[in-house]
Protein backbone atom coordinates (compact mmCIF):
# COMPACT_ATOMS: atom_id res chain seq x y z
CA UNK A 1 0.00 0.00 0.00
CA UNK A 2 1.22 3.48 -0.82
CA UNK A 3 0.34 6.56 1.16
CA UNK A 4 -1.55 9.19 -0.81
CA UNK A 5 -2.03 11.55 2.11
CA UNK A 6 -2.12 11.85 5.87
CA UNK A 7 -3.07 14.53 8.35
CA UNK A 8 -3.78 14.78 12.06
CA UNK A 9 -5.91 17.37 13.81
CA UNK A 10 -7.54 17.74 17.18
CA UNK A 11 -11.32 17.28 17.46
CA UNK A 12 -13.38 18.62 20.40
CA UNK A 13 -14.85 15.27 21.47
CA UNK A 14 -13.52 12.19 23.29
CA UNK A 15 -12.21 9.22 21.27
CA UNK A 16 -15.29 7.06 21.88
CA UNK A 17 -17.58 9.75 20.46
CA UNK A 18 -15.35 10.26 17.41
CA UNK A 19 -15.09 6.48 16.93
CA UNK A 20 -18.89 6.21 16.95
CA UNK A 21 -19.14 9.07 14.45
CA UNK A 22 -16.78 7.25 12.09
CA UNK A 23 -18.32 3.80 12.48
CA UNK A 24 -21.94 4.99 12.32
CA UNK A 25 -21.98 8.36 10.51
CA UNK A 26 -25.76 8.16 9.91
CA UNK A 27 -26.70 7.42 13.53
CA UNK A 28 -30.18 8.66 14.30
CA UNK A 29 -29.25 10.73 17.38
CA UNK A 30 -26.12 12.28 15.83
CA UNK A 31 -25.85 15.52 13.87
CA UNK A 32 -25.46 14.96 10.14
CA UNK A 33 -21.91 15.53 8.93
CA UNK A 34 -21.10 13.06 6.11
CA UNK A 35 -22.36 15.04 3.12
CA UNK A 36 -21.05 13.30 0.00
CA UNK A 37 -20.45 14.81 -3.42
CA UNK A 38 -21.88 13.32 -6.62
CA UNK A 39 -18.62 11.46 -7.33
CA UNK A 40 -18.54 9.85 -3.85
CA UNK A 41 -20.18 6.84 -2.23
CA UNK A 42 -20.92 5.92 1.37
CA UNK A 43 -17.82 4.29 2.89
CA UNK A 44 -18.05 0.85 4.49
CA UNK A 45 -16.31 0.13 7.78
CA UNK A 46 -13.71 -2.54 6.95
CA UNK A 47 -12.13 -2.74 10.41
CA UNK A 48 -12.74 -1.13 13.77
CA UNK A 49 -10.98 -1.41 17.13
CA UNK A 50 -12.96 0.52 19.71
CA UNK A 51 -12.10 3.34 20.43
CA UNK A 52 -8.74 3.81 18.73
CA UNK A 53 -8.88 2.64 15.11
CA UNK A 54 -11.25 2.57 12.11
CA UNK A 55 -10.67 1.64 8.47
CA UNK A 56 -13.06 2.81 5.75
CA UNK A 57 -13.44 1.60 2.20
CA UNK A 58 -12.93 4.17 -0.53
CA UNK A 59 -15.36 7.02 -0.96
CA UNK A 60 -14.51 7.21 -4.65
CA UNK A 61 -15.83 4.67 -7.19
CA UNK A 62 -13.02 5.73 -9.53
CA UNK A 63 -10.55 4.43 -6.90
CA UNK A 64 -12.37 1.43 -5.38
CA UNK A 65 -9.35 -0.19 -3.72
CA UNK A 66 -8.24 2.84 -1.71
CA UNK A 67 -8.72 2.79 2.05
CA UNK A 68 -8.92 5.49 4.70
CA UNK A 69 -7.25 4.51 7.99
CA UNK A 70 -8.09 6.46 11.15
CA UNK A 71 -6.11 6.54 14.38
CA UNK A 72 -7.78 8.13 17.40
CA UNK A 73 -5.72 9.23 20.40
CA UNK A 74 -7.01 10.80 23.60
CA UNK A 75 -5.41 14.17 24.30
CA UNK A 76 -5.51 16.68 27.11
CA UNK A 77 -8.89 18.22 27.83
CA UNK A 78 -10.93 15.21 26.73
CA UNK A 79 -10.35 15.85 23.02
CA UNK A 80 -9.21 13.45 20.31
CA UNK A 81 -6.24 13.65 18.00
CA UNK A 82 -7.62 12.16 14.78
CA UNK A 83 -5.18 11.07 12.08
CA UNK A 84 -6.35 9.93 8.68
CA UNK A 85 -4.09 8.13 6.25
CA UNK A 86 -5.30 7.51 2.71
CA UNK A 87 -3.71 4.34 1.34
CA UNK A 88 -3.87 2.60 -2.01
CA UNK A 89 -2.60 -0.69 -3.45
CA UNK A 90 -2.66 0.99 -6.87
CA UNK A 91 -0.56 3.73 -8.40
CA UNK A 92 -0.85 7.17 -6.89
CA UNK A 93 -3.29 9.42 -8.74
CA UNK A 94 -2.03 12.49 -10.58
CA UNK A 95 -1.34 15.63 -8.57
CA UNK A 96 -4.76 17.17 -9.24
CA UNK A 97 -6.68 14.07 -8.13
CA UNK A 98 -4.42 13.64 -5.10
CA UNK A 99 -5.17 17.21 -4.05
CA UNK A 100 -8.90 16.64 -4.48
CA UNK A 101 -8.89 13.45 -2.35
CA UNK A 102 -6.90 15.08 0.45
CA UNK A 103 -9.03 18.23 0.38
CA UNK A 104 -12.25 16.22 0.62
CA UNK A 105 -11.04 14.22 3.62
CA UNK A 106 -9.89 17.43 5.30
CA UNK A 107 -13.31 19.01 4.68
CA UNK A 108 -15.30 16.00 5.85
CA UNK A 109 -13.25 15.35 8.98
CA UNK A 110 -11.75 18.60 10.14
CA UNK A 111 -14.63 20.89 9.19
CA UNK A 112 -17.90 18.96 8.85
CA UNK A 113 -17.27 16.36 11.58
CA UNK A 114 -15.67 18.97 13.87
CA UNK A 115 -18.65 21.31 13.50
CA UNK A 116 -21.06 18.46 14.24
CA UNK A 117 -19.64 18.57 17.79
CA UNK A 118 -20.67 22.20 18.09
CA UNK A 119 -17.25 23.80 17.52
What is d(CA 45, CA 54) in angstroms, rounded to the nearest whole number? 7
- The model's pLDDT over 62-92, given as tens digits with 9 standing for 90+, comes to 999 999 999 999 999 999 999 999 999 999 9
What CATH fold (topology level) applies to the domain 2-116?
Answer: Alpha-D-Glucose-1,6-Bisphosphate; Chain A, domain 4 (3.30.530)
Contacts of 1 (CB under 8 A, 6+ apart): 67, 87, 88, 89
Q: In terms of DSSP H, where are the helices of 4-56?
A: 15-23
pTM of the shown model: 0.94
CA 28 – CA 12 distance, rounded (Å): 20
Map out the domains of the chain as residue ranges: 2-116
Res 119: pLDDT: 65
**What is the tens place of the pLDDT at every residue in 4-43?**
999 999 999 999 999 999 999 988 887 889 999 999 999 9
Q: What count of other Cβ atoms lies within 10 Å of the Cβ of residue 119?
A: 9
Residue 77 gets the label, from left (phi > 0), alpha (psi -120 to 50) or beta, of left
Amino acid sequence: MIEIGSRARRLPAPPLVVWESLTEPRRRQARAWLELLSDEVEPRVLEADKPSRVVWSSLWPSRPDDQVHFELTAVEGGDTLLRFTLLSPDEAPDQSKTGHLRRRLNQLLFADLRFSYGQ
